[in-house]
Structure 1
Amino acid sequence: MKVQVNTSNDIDNKEALERWAEDYLNDHLARFDQDLTSIEVQMTDENHAAKGGGVDKRCMMEARVNGRAPVAVTNYAANQDLAFRGAAEKLAHALDHAFGKLDRREHRERETIRRDTEVIDQVVPPQA
């Protein structure tokens, strides 16, 4: 799957972050590889200041799902690493939830003998 990383001017080591993010997400979200076309990551420093402190790093991830609406999550943390890893965890949980709902819906729509009246009548004869 393709991973695109966008950063604000206040984020350091953009090239290294891009390489690491692609490896990390491809490994962390490997179970969704067939269902995702790409993931877009946006890292920003909310207060745009060189000074530290506070929970000012934001990581937003949007996963593009084959034939479905995109799934997006946002995580705030004190540094880039925590913001990124937290967003990756949230994205994995959101995808599990989205695909779980999809599986449940498809399960209800598939054929079953429980609704076939001929089979039911053979197992439990109609009472006269």
Structure 2
Amino acid sequence: MLMGFDPGRDKCGLAVVQVQPAWQVLHREVVSAGEALARLQALWQQFGAERLILGNQTTARGWKRQLESLLPPQQIVLVDERHSSEEARRRYWDFYPPRGWERLLPKGMRVPDKAYDDLVALILVERYWRGQARAEPT
């Protein structure tokens, strides 16, 4: 069981993925930065996650320090999150197909109507699992 965490200043994305025996996304959500640690800890316990996959950009250093007070450092893995937001924006429409006249717009012109940080967290888990990004144990 892996948990993805896309840290941010205002909001954070969380995703819980079962990778064995078959890939299955069990949970995704976007939470405010203020409630992120409590929510992460609750999900960690609820799902029995083994690793926390953390994006390594924007605010990662500060979040990593806070996370190390909750989880053993060897269970926290940093993953390169470059361009993950752009990828999540493209994939948003796979999860939430456009309706009505928005279907006529090219994907690049559509504007998501809700935050998609949870999809970024999912992408971080995918990158870690596939080994496409360099993962650094902390």
**TM-score normalised to structure 1 length:** 0.32
Q: TM-score, normalised by structure 2?
A: 0.30
Larger Rg: 1
